[in-house]
């Protein structure tokens, strides 16, 4: 009887200690980030790495590789690299994974998700759950939604108010097929290019225009190349905070929780940076009160205007004209994204 009890105690002790003993962290976990450390997105990625180090007492060391340096600049390859484990962690754009994960193109339907409220409803709703399941099925554990932002059009040639104004413009877009289709509908001459090459292309005037959110445009000082900006919120660019699924499963439960908490917190911070000034006081207040930020960024549009940019805000009628013009993109892409996912998104936004 007594002997039996010792055996049980010994077995319980071994079971308790085993998982800890079995986990040896790597010296460094790599992280893919398409942009540099000065962008809101880069700041969020660094914050995630820092919070993981803090919460795990230095056990897990994540190093962000900015500018897609692990992918030789090929930003649209991140999903494969994280899914097959050649990169461990990721904070990157849904657009850059949308040629592999079809459902991510939901976010790129033109003039569909047009407010932050709708973005949040979809990400946290039924459509979001479906997309997260797709990301995970392919081998990337989803941790949190960050945000690059609503993408706006800038160019060096003319003010854009109606679809005809876009016709003939040479516009740099990401190498994602739906973007090519959208700009084709608008009659633009679209050129796909990695971000690593895009800024040089603006400098040299190889292209007339591009589309990106304010968080990107202020860092590259877009006003140095383009005089005109149209705020058309034509589509939203969410970011994924994620990790290779096998790597995730290797982490003990307590480490998983610490990593998840770090991602949730860093993503909230990053989203607030990306939305600062664009949602009234909401995100600014999150930065000030929750994250104790004292040095707030400058108001982006006033800054752009002070640098000589002309900013055009579209009326509902003008927006409707753009939506009408890009309708063939829905006819082609909704079936590819999935009619049912599209319907879930419409329900989520109600």
Are 73 and 60 in contact, with CB atoms under 8 Å apart? no
Of 29, 32, 33, 34, the residue at the interface with ligand X2X (CB under 6 A) is 34
Residues in the chain: 350
The 196-225 site mask, x for binding ligand X2X (CB under 6 A), equals ----------------x---x---------
Least distance from ligand X2X to the Cβ atom of residue 59, Å: 31
Give the three-class secondary structure for 193.
coil
How far apart (Å, rounded) are the C-alpha atoms in residues 134 and 139? 9
307, two tokens: 């640098």
- Rounded distance between C-alpha atoms, residue 31 and residue 51, angstroms: 14
Taking the C-alpha atoms of residue 272 and residue 279, their distance in angstroms, rounded to an integer, is 9
Q: Which stretch binds ligand X2X (CB under 6 A): 89-97, 101-109, 303-311, 312-320?
A: 89-97
Taking a C-beta distance cutoff of 8 angstroms, is the pair 259, 60 a contact?
Answer: yes
Binding span for ligand X2X by CB under 6 A among 51-59, 91-99, 139-147, 183-191: 91-99
Question: Applying CB under 6 A, does 155 fall inside the site for ligand X2X?
Answer: no
Considering the complex, state which of residue 40 and residue 88 has its C-beta at the smaller distance from ligand X2X: 40
Closest approach, Cβ 93 to ligand X2X, in A, equals 4
Q: Which C-beta is closer to ligand X2X: that of 181 or that of 261?
A: 181
Size of the site for ligand X2X (CB under 6 A): 12
Interface with ligand X2X, residue 174, by CB under 6 A: yes
Q: How many CA atoms lie within 13 A of 259 on its CB side?
A: 25
For helices 116-123 and 339-349, give the axis angle rounded to 10 degrees.
Answer: 120
233 binds ligand X2X (CB under 6 A): no
CB of 175 to ligand X2X, least distance (A): 9
> C-alpha angle 182/186/192, rounded to 5°?
50
Binding site for ligand X2X (CB under 6 A): 34-35, 75, 93, 95-96, 148, 174, 195, 212, 216, 237
């Amino acid at each position: 009887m007594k002997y039996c009890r010792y055996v049980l105690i010994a077995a319980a002790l071994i079971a308790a200690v085993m998982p800890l003993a079995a986990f040896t962290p790597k010296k460094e976990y790599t992280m893919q980030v398409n942009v540099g450390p000065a962008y809101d997105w880069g700041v969020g990625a660094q914050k995630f790495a820092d919070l993981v180090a803090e919460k795990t007492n230095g056990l897990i060391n994540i190093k962000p590789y900015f500018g897609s340096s692990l992918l030789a600049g090929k930003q649209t390859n991140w999903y494969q690299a994280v899914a097959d484990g050649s990169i461990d962690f990721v904070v990157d754009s849904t657009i850059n994974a949308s040629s592999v994960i079809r459902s991510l193109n939901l976010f790129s339907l033109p003039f569909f998700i047009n407010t932050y409220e709708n973005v949040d409803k979809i990400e946290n709703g039924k459509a979001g759950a479906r997309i997260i399941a797709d990301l995970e099925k392919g081998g990337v554990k989803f941790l949190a939604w960050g945000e690059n932002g609503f993408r706006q059009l800038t160019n060096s040639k003319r003010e854009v108010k109606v679809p005809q104004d876009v016709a003939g413009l040479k516009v740099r877009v990401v190498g994602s097929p739906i973007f090519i289709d959208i700009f084709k509908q608008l009659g633009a001459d679209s050129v796909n290019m990695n971000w690593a090459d895009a800024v040089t292309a603006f400098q040299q005037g190889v292209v007339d225009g591009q589309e990106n959110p304010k968080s990107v445009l202020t860092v590259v000082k877009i006003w140095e190349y383009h005089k005109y900006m149209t705020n058309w919120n034509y589509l939203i660019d969410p970011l994924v905070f994620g990790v290779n699924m096998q790597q995730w499963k290797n982490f003990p439960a307590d480490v998983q929780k610490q990593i998840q908490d770090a991602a949730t917190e860093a993503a909230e911070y990053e989203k607030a940076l990306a939305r600062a000034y664009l949602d009234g006081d909401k995100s600014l207040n999150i930065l000030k009160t929750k994250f104790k930020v004292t040095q707030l960024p400058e108001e982006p549009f006033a800054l752009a205007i002070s640098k000589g940019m002309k900013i055009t805000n579209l009326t509902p009628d003008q927006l409707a004209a753009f939506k009408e013009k890009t309708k063939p993109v829905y006819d082609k892409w909704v079936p590819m994204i999935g009619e049912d996912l599209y319907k879930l998104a419409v329900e989520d936004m109600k």
